[in-house]
């Protein structure tokens, strides 16, 4: 794992996680779990099984779902958050009330399988640019209501959060520049109104790049540049008088077939919507009973 991937395992505030869990449980349980009512409400055990290779992520949400229904449940994690595991690994064992274990199953798994998927894919992208110095950034293309959770999962996978929302950074795009009349005008307006916020400027030509670098900002996003123009953009940004002070970000047209080449061109950041948008859930299951002996599996 690269230097950029010093894992930030700081989750969102507990109140946010508990609210996520409460929403998920309310959606699933409604007026009550009519099938779990068929079970005797006795103490039981269960185990959480990961069926494929993955980066584990989502433990705080898993715990919150189960503790919301059984405050006395005991959850014994066998793996750490951010740990890479192979298929057929028991991630945790649980002891609690049978009905609560079953009722919390789907909501808790939904969080774990989604967040582990984001962390796993992010880790793959981070590994693909190893040694280039490029950072893998996420976007705002997240599942509604799960932005903080998914951006946490990106960090667990070794990626870097771009901006959380529309409130914590100014990002000037084509429409903003058009309304202001020029990049110069848009930057001056942004600095005047929001002097303490990071300023990111999206450019579409090398001429716009020179203008943005000359006016000063915190990052320039080169959008859909050809390979030749991208390399020229890197040369311009690193040469005098700019001297590499303003990092370059690439967005658009990025996948595993193009990623390494883009990173090797010398850009500083690569933002990828697929980290959180194209999520294929990790295959997990929660089963009542003692965990099987999977040694040698």
Say if residues 101 and 143 touch (Cβ distance below 8 Å).
no
User: Contact 203/172 with Cβ under 8 angstroms?
Assistant: no
The alpha carbon of 113 is separated from its chain's Cα centroid by a whole number of angstroms, namely 13
**Active-site residue, 202 included:** yes
Decide if 141 is catalytic. yes
Whole-angstrom distance, CA of residue 173 vs CA of residue 186: 9
Q: How far apart are CA 21 and CA 17, in angstroms?
A: 6
Q: Are 112 and 62 in contact (CB under 8 A)?
A: yes
* Residue 106 known to be catalytic: yes
**Catalytic (active site) residue 173:** yes
Catalytic residue of the set 16, 28, 204, 223: 223
Q: Which helix (H) or strand (E) holds 250?
A: strand 248-251
> 78 an active-site residue?
no
Q: Which of 84, 141, 184, 210 is catalytic?
A: 141
Return the number of other C-beta atoms located less than 10 Å from residue 297's C-beta.
9
- Tokens 């303490």 label which residue? 196
Q: Which two tokens stand for residue 113?
A: 């399988």
The one catalytic residue among 20, 138, 202, 265: 202
SS3 270: strand
Which residue among 84, 106, 140, 277 is the active-site one?
A: 106
Tokens of 223: 């959008």
Grouping H, G, I as helix, E, B as strand and the rest as coil, residue 83 is coil
Instruction: State the catalytic residue, choosing from 78, 140, 173, 277.
Output: 173
User: Which residues are known catalytic residues?
Assistant: 106, 141, 173, 202, 223
């Amino acid at each position: 794992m690269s230097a950029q991937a010093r894992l930030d395992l700081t989750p969102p505030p507990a109140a946010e996680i508990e609210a996520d869990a409460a929403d998920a449980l309310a959606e699933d349980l409604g007026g009550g779990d009519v099938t779990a009512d068929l079970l005797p409400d006795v103490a039981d055990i269960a185990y959480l099984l990961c069926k494929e290779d993955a980066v584990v992520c989502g433990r705080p949400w898993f715990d919150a779902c189960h503790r919301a229904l059984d405050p006395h449940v005991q959850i014994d994690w066998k793996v750490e958050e951010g740990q890479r595991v192979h298929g057929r690994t028991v991630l945790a064992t649980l002891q609690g009330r049978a009905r609560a274990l079953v009722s919390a199953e789907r909501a808790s798994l939904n969080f774990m399988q989604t967040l582990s998927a984001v962390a796993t894919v992010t880790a793959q992208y981070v590994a693909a640019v190893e040694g280039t110095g490029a950072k893998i950034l996420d976007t705002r293309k997240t599942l509604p209501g799960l932005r903080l959770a998914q951006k946490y999962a990106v960090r667990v996978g070794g990626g870097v959060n771009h901006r959380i929302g529309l409130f914590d950074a100014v990002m000037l795009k084509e429409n903003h520049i058009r309304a202001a009349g020029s990049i110069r005008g848009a930057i001056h307006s942004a600095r005047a109104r929001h002097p303490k916020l990071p300023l990111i400027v999206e450019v579409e030509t090398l001429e716009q790049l020179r203008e943005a670098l000359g006016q000063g900002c915190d990052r320039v996003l080169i959008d859909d540049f050809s390979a030749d123009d991208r390399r020229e953009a890197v040369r311009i940004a690193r040469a005098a008088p700019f001297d590499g002070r303003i990092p370059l970000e690439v967005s658009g047209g990025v996948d595993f077939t193009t990623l390494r080449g883009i990173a090797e061109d010398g850009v500083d950041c690569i933002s990828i919507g697929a980290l959180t948008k194209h999520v294929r859930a990790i295959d997990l299951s929660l089963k009542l009973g003692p965990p099987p002996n999977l040694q040698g599996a």
